[in-house]
Amino acid sequence: MVTVKVGVTGVISVVVILIGVFLAWLEYGTTGEEEYWRMATAAMQTDEEFIATNQSAFMVGATGETGKHILEELTNRKLFQTITLIGRREVTYEGEKYQSIVQKVVDFDNLDSHADVFKNHDVGFICLGARAGNTGVTSNLPALRKVDHDYVIKSAELAKAGGCRHLVLLSAMKASKDASHPYSKIKGEVEEEAKAFGFDRLSIFQPAVIMVDRKDETRVGEWFLKKALAPVAFFFPTALTVPIATLARAMVNTALTPKDQDVEVLDNKAIHRMGGKK
């Protein structure tokens, strides 16, 4: 019996060590580190200069958690002359900082009839998507494809036709058109189709698990996952998680950085670098 116990303990120890090594590799790997650190540093230095260019932006998905945080980042820093929020309904915003907001209500099933709302924007933020736990959406592949693919791609298409130069697109970790998982596959297909539109600049964000406190609802699975990942986030902050405020700041900061290439894909570590400082 003693031998069996020692054996089990040894196996567990090896597994723990391997997990630690894997997380350390994710955390301390250097792929793209210098490039994205340079980009992040540049972003921190250009707020005033960027404001002076008098640019306008639009956002699709402003009522989602990521969209809410992006909007707060944009309005707090007063970066754009106008911010057009494109959505199903109007939302009440109170405070002087929201004076730059223009709201446009659209039917996402008939976006072609709302093409005008996508015209004359310099930068576009698309962070529309269903999230795990939404009953009837993520459990229903046609519904998931409609939201995460059809609405997103049509918005991108109209934005390009309307003159948008820089599209900032929220995707997901492990997104690939060749993925076996439906969610990752859909996200990957969206990325490839967005690239084909030929934006002057396309910034694709692939965050890992987004850590967010939801005040309006509680999901047991989501709560458990967050608690389980809390130690990982503490010891290996860039490995498997990203705070939602960091993600939002990174997506905003990339709009301020000089163009380095036509298409840039930021993984979870790059997102931490880009959004790590205000």
Q: What is the pLDDT of residues 186-244, one digit of tens each?
A: 999 999 999 999 999 999 999 998 888 766 555 555 556 666 766 666 677 776 789 99
A 10 A CB-CB count for 101 gives 18
Mean pLDDT of 129-139: 56
Q: Is the pLDDT of residue 131 over 70?
A: no
Q: Which of 16-20, 161-165, 188-192, 263-267 has the lowest mean pLDDT?
A: 16-20
**Could you report the per-residue pLDDT of 97-118, keeping only the tens digit for each?**
999 999 999 999 999 999 999 9
The tokens describing 143, both together, are 């519904």
Contact 278, 249 (CB under 8 A): yes
Q: Which secondary-structure segment (H or E) carries 211?
A: strand 209-211
Query: What is the architecture, at CATH level 2, of domain 48-276?
Result: 3-Layer(aba) Sandwich (3.40)
Cβ within 8 Å of residue 92, ≥6 positions away:
none
Q: Kindly list the catalytic residues.
A: 183, 187
Q: Is the pLDDT of residue 148 over 90?
A: yes
Nearest to 174, CA basis, from 66, 268, 243, 53: 268
pLDDT band at 130 (very low <50, low <70, confident <90, very high): confident
pTM for this entry: 0.82
Terminal CA-CA length for the chain: 57
Q: Is the pLDDT of residue 179 over 90?
A: yes
| CA–CA separation, 278 and 274 (whole Å) | 10
pLDDT of residue 227: 64
**Could you report the per-residue pLDDT of 18-70, keeping only the tens digit for each?**
444 444 444 545 444 555 555 555 545 578 999 999 999 999 999 999 999 99
**Could you report the per-residue pLDDT of 247-259, keeping only the tens digit for each?**
999 999 999 998 8
Task: Work out the burial of residue 6: count CB atoms within 10 Å of its CB; fewer than 13 is exposed, 13-18 middle, 19 or more buried.
Answer: exposed
DSSP summary character for residue 228: H
Domain layout of the chain by residue ranges: 48-276
